[in-house]
Chain A
Amino acid sequence: MDIEKRIAELAERLAYIRDIFGERDNANITLLASKLDEFSEREKTAQPPEKVRLLQQLEELFVFLEKKLETDLTPMDRVRIVRHPLRVSLKDILENVYDNYTEIGGQDEYSIDPSMLIARAYITRRRGDKVFHQPVMVIGQEKGHGQEFRNGGSVKPWGNAKALQYMKVAEIERIPIHAYVSTPGAFPVEDYPGAAQQIARNIYEMAGLRTPVVSVISEGGSGGAEAIGLSDLRLMFSHGYYSVISPEGAAAIESGIRQGQRAPAELIEACARRLKITAQDNLDMGYIDRIVQEPHLGARAYHYDFFKSLRQEIIKATDEVYLRMGGLNFFRARAVARNKAADAAEAENMYVSWTLDDAACDRLVWRRYQKYRNMAKQAFIDMRTPSTRFFSRTQNLLWSGYSFIRYDFLGKHEKKIGKALRDVEGEVRVVVNKITAPLRRGKPKNAVLACDPEKKQKLLELSQPEQGVCLDDWGWSYVSPRAREDKAVTCPNARISGCLDLWAPDLYGDFAGVCAHCGHHFPMEYQWYLSNVFDKDSILEFNAEIEAGNPLEYPGFDKKLEDAKKKTGRKSSCITFEARIDNVKIVCATLYSAFRGGSVGAAEGEKFIRALARARKKHYPFLAYVHGTAGIRIQESLNGLIQMPRVTMAVRRYIEAGGLYLVLYDTNSYAGPVASFLGCSPYQFSIRSANIGFAGPGVIKETTGIDIPPDYHRSYQALARGHIQGIWDRREVRKNLKQALLTIGGRNLYYR
């Protein structure tokens, strides 16, 4: 009996190996297969002691060759490892790493989202003969070893919302969070709360979470990973991957294949390699802090040693975060900082209290911000000379100093004096009114008023002749090149709304790209906004020198970047500038689609963050004007992906400093940026032309099999779903923005 079981186990191990290595031939695998077959043959005839001996040999061979095969693993093999049904799942970890746990809000398929698992667990530690139960909130995706209803760990928007809810609970209960990331990506549906919008909310909240978070990444698939992955200390399984996009997705984009087709396997392999998705890659780039070593060919549920080391690592990581925040910690901090496997074992025996006081919480959040702020610094090109850098640093200091004096110091006193003056004035008025009341009563109400000749003149003569006779200024200051073509254009709604064809010069000129009949918005160039929304000649661009690079040396991408730079005459897809709208000064960051689809990489993220800092220091409102973004720039992989939390944290810092963060979507705005630093704004508006969402129709069909209606991402749907706060007509953007600035302004803005 026992032998059969052991044979079955070996067969399973072989099958696993075959799964992992995909279609590739490998001499070692062939050898294992033939040896296993050979043994099965001989097993029928051999005597029991002989059998046991042979089996033992075979098992040793397996161990030996698995070790050898380990060195052959390609990045794509690791992708197959994390997706394998035998891969350790969060349930396994809860069972084996923690001492006890209660699952919150889910029992198999009975859960608002079975792919998101939440549990209150504790770790028991002893100090001397005293026992301590240290509670944690465990949050993570659950793949359930291939259980259908777990959806492969692809979390629906409401699953992420539940995760956020319990992170807030942990914050209130002042217990640490352990986030286990194991998702191929979020489930891209827009139903409320919406894939992108919920992830954005999660990231925004996590940025300010006043309790330590330690994350452990097994499968870090893009936005879905960021939804719970923002943390103070980031661990990663040695056989996991962490990437901006699945290698298949990257390959599909690269080869330009159509929906339903498959990219060639070699290309997928190549993409997996180029995207630098392995634990070692991510450690080298600085996006994770430590690797948790797995057994050869990846951890499976029966690797008990692995659970033991994971337990030690996670305890140590949590201790480290707490100890860093101060208190009496000298020796213990040194101990955890030494970072050796042997010391990890010690962690369990050393007691660190998992509590923080308020001041420490402040430090925690600040350090978290710093941690992300310092990521991806090498991933863009900064061509500024040392002297300009010095100048810009000095300027920054001056702004900070000025705003401190102007707003924090003088502002407060001014307010006090102003209030006093108004009070006095009010008092005086009451007295004067009382004194003059009898005099005023003398005038009868309905007496014929003599017509003041000067006022009469106003009724009959030209008012304000200095403004000229013609009050209308016809046309816009930027006119699209398409307005120079003599041709008719058909509105896409013509069939339904009966719109007549429009003449291109009317449509793209006078009408600002809006169908005169049905109001359909044709896309317009970003230049149209730059010249027609802001006050004339008020745009002052800054940080234009910060340049998109190719940090991963992604093959062929240098050329593409070069082309984009040549085509647009700019260095990245983000333009940051100061401008005025009816004399209200603002800072604006624009993502425009002409440059690589408006995708966001390290340069764009950095520019965004610096623009936010500038707005914060100068006390200006901030407008993120999105003329289109296709998502995170995949060729930068993690250097791009990390901009999601990174920029969102900067947004949070700006909003908390009292700023007004407005987002205005124009054309197609999808994926990462919407799921983070754009989607987190409480004031997101859209121009009628926009499509807003997490994933495009093709991706949704591909990943979910759902056929979405053609108007699924239209701005009106986004409004109906509660994702955005209003829709504006393009011709009224300027007016609406002014209105918004006047009515919504944040508490620290200068015009208040």
Chain B
Amino acid sequence: MIDVKTILEEIKAAPYEEIEITAPHTGVINFEITTPGVKVAGSSGTYREKPGTLLAAITREHNAKPIHASVNGEVSHIRSDLDGKFVEAGEPLMVVRHFLTKDEVVEAILQKVLFLFTAPERAKYYFIPSADKKIKASGCRSVTVKPGMELFIVSRMKREKPLNYEGPEGIIYAVYFDHDQNVDMGGPLIGVCPEDQTGVIQDVINRVQSDWEERS
């Protein structure tokens, strides 16, 4: 049994996440936001169709590409020295301090509560088609996993092989990987909630719902 309260206090001490925004590719960077402390918004709209605050534009081959904020938060640092300069891919451009929402706090605590099934090697991971279909249709919590069950496809060096789930029986509570992205060895793939733990998890959620104050 874990102490949700303590974890919550820990998170409360630093109730934010620092998100580093890096150059997606080479090009000349022009900042739209120039002073730290500016509040920015992530994408919005019923379908997330409205892009977030325009942070900067990066121009490459006569093509200016906007860089939008992906989450709500506050700009805490800007590399103003790069303004108008050519940058390499992956160059850090600014840092956005994002204050955790209730859902994200729940997420963070769950990572500690759930059984995490981790990647045995650095590779790209996919769900097997039958599981993938189910997850896409009705969400990951519709899938119950059992030890020894074939669940993933591991893709590495253009070759694919199956991977079986090992761990307690339960429902998939969270998925931590994206398709087409490499997962490092030991990185979590899924969080599984054993049947008898559902009460604990509900408790976490309730507690966060009542204890956590969101700020923007």
Direct contact between the two chains A and B in their complex (CB within 8 A): yes
18 residue pairs of the A-B complex, CB under 8 angstroms, read A485-B62, A486-B62, A487-B62, A487-B63, A488-B62, A488-B63, A489-B63, A490-B63, A490-B65, A498-B180, A501-B61, A501-B63, A503-B61, A709-B46, A709-B47, A709-B49, A710-B47, A710-B49
Query: Which of B44-102 touch A at CB < 8 Å?
Result: 45-47, 49, 60-63, 65
Q: Which residues of B contact A488 (CB under 8 A)?
A: 60-63
Q: Which residues of A contact B49 (CB under 8 A)?
A: 709-710
Q: How far is the CB of A488 from chain B (nearest CB, A)?
A: 4
A538 to B100, CA, bound (A): 65
Q: Which residues of B contact A501 (CB under 8 A)?
A: 60-61, 63
Name the 9 nearest CB pairs between A and B, nearest first.
A487-B62, A488-B61, A488-B63, A707-B46, A710-B49, A709-B47, A487-B63, A710-B47, A490-B65
Q: Which residues of A contact B45 (CB under 8 A)?
A: 707
Q: Which residues of A contact B63 (CB under 8 A)?
A: 487-490, 501
Query: Which of A449-506 touch B at CB < 8 Å?
Result: 485-490, 498, 501, 503
Q: Which residues of A contact B65 (CB under 8 A)?
A: 490
A648 to B45, CA, bound (A): 39
Sample of 11 further A-B pairs with CB below 8 A, known A487-B63, A489-B63, A709-B49: A486-B61, A488-B60, A488-B61, A488-B63, A490-B63, A498-B180, A501-B60, A501-B61, A503-B61, A707-B45, A709-B47
Q: How far is the CB of A307 from chain B (nearest CB, A)?
A: 47
A486 to B62, CA, bound (A): 8
Closest to A710 in B: B49
Closest to B48 in A: A710
Interface residues of B (CB under 8 A from A): 45-47, 49, 60-63, 65, 180
A201 to B47, CA, bound (A): 32
Query: Which of A500-548 touch B at CB < 8 Å?
Result: 501, 503
Establish whether residues A487 and B47, one from each chain, have CB atoms under 8 Å apart when the complex forms.
Answer: no
Proximity bits, A697-732, B CB within 8 Å = 1, else 0: 000000000010110000000000000000000000
Q: How far is the CB of B108 from chain A (nearest CB, A)?
A: 25
Closest to A486 in B: B62
Q: Which residues of A contact B47 (CB under 8 A)?
A: 707, 709-710
Inter-chain residue pair count (beta carbon < 8 A): 26
Closest to B63 in A: A488
Q: Which residues of B contact A709 (CB under 8 A)?
A: 46-47, 49
Q: Which residues of B contact A490 (CB under 8 A)?
A: 63, 65
Number of residues in A with C-beta < 8 Å to the partner?
12
Most B C-beta atoms less than 10 A away, residue of A486, A487, A498: A487
A331 to B60, CA, bound (A): 84
A243 to B117, CA, bound (A): 64
Q: Say what secondary structure dominates the interface of chain B.
A: loop
Closest to B65 in A: A490
Q: How far is the CB of A491 from chain B (nearest CB, A)?
A: 11
A488 to B45, CA, bound (A): 29
Closest to B180 in A: A498
A154 to B45, CA, bound (A): 27
Q: How far is the CB of A713 from chain B (nearest CB, A)?
A: 13
Q: How far is the CB of A245 from chain B (nearest CB, A)?
A: 26
Q: How far is the CB of A383 from chain B (nearest CB, A)?
A: 45
A503 to B46, CA, bound (A): 33
Most B C-beta atoms less than 10 A away, residue of A487, A488, A490, A709: A488
Establish whether residues B61 and A487, one from each chain, have CB atoms under 8 Å apart when the complex forms.
Answer: yes
A348 to B5, CA, bound (A): 86
Q: Which residues of A contact B61 (CB under 8 A)?
A: 486-488, 501, 503
A87 to B28, CA, bound (A): 64
A490 to B66, CA, bound (A): 11
Q: Which residues of B contact A486 (CB under 8 A)?
A: 61-62
Q: Which residues of A contact B62 (CB under 8 A)?
A: 485-488
Q: Which residues of A contact B46 (CB under 8 A)?
A: 707, 709
Q: How far is the CB of A496 from chain B (nearest CB, A)?
A: 11
Q: How far is the CB of A109 from chain B (nearest CB, A)?
A: 27
Q: How far is the CB of B99 from chain A (nearest CB, A)?
A: 24
Q: How far is the CB of A716 from chain B (nearest CB, A)?
A: 16
Closest to A712 in B: B47
Q: Which residues of B contact A489 (CB under 8 A)?
A: 63
Q: How far is the CB of A112 from chain B (nearest CB, A)?
A: 27
A229 to B188, CA, bound (A): 63
A709 to B47, CA, bound (A): 6
Q: Which residues of B contact A710 (CB under 8 A)?
A: 47, 49
Q: Which residues of A contact B180 (CB under 8 A)?
A: 498
Closest to B47 in A: A709
Q: How far is the CB of A518 from chain B (nearest CB, A)?
A: 13
A487 to B27, CA, bound (A): 13
A488 to B26, CA, bound (A): 13
Q: How far is the CB of B181 from chain A (nearest CB, A)?
A: 10
A188 to B81, CA, bound (A): 52
A710 to B44, CA, bound (A): 13
Closest to A500 in B: B25
A485 to B46, CA, bound (A): 37
Closest to B45 in A: A707
A485 to B63, CA, bound (A): 11
Q: How far is the CB of A516 from chain B (nearest CB, A)?
A: 16
Q: Which residues of B contact A503 (CB under 8 A)?
A: 61
A503 to B63, CA, bound (A): 10
Closest to B66 in A: A490
Q: Which residues of B contact A498 (CB under 8 A)?
A: 180
A396 to B47, CA, bound (A): 54
A498 to B47, CA, bound (A): 20
A710 to B48, CA, bound (A): 9
Q: How far is the CB of A538 from chain B (nearest CB, A)?
A: 38
A488 to B49, CA, bound (A): 24
Q: How far is the CB of A291 from chain B (nearest CB, A)?
A: 46
Q: Which residues of A contact B60 (CB under 8 A)?
A: 488, 501
A40 to B177, CA, bound (A): 77
Closest to A498 in B: B180
A186 to B138, CA, bound (A): 34
A206 to B125, CA, bound (A): 57
Q: Which residues of B contact A487 (CB under 8 A)?
A: 61-63
Q: How far is the CB of B89 from chain A (nearest CB, A)?
A: 13
A487 to B62, CA, bound (A): 5
A503 to B61, CA, bound (A): 9
A744 to B63, CA, bound (A): 45
Closest to A711 in B: B47
Q: How far is the CB of B44 from chain A (nearest CB, A)?
A: 12
A486 to B61, CA, bound (A): 8
Q: How far is the CB of A547 from chain B (nearest CB, A)?
A: 40
Q: How far is the CB of B42 from chain A (nearest CB, A)?
A: 14
A188 to B195, CA, bound (A): 47
A487 to B65, CA, bound (A): 12
Q: Which residues of B contact A707 (CB under 8 A)?
A: 45-47
Q: How far is the CB of A690 from chain B (nearest CB, A)?
A: 19
Q: How far is the CB of A605 from chain B (nearest CB, A)?
A: 36
A485 to B61, CA, bound (A): 11
Closest to B60 in A: A488
A488 to B61, CA, bound (A): 6
Closest to A501 in B: B63
A489 to B63, CA, bound (A): 6
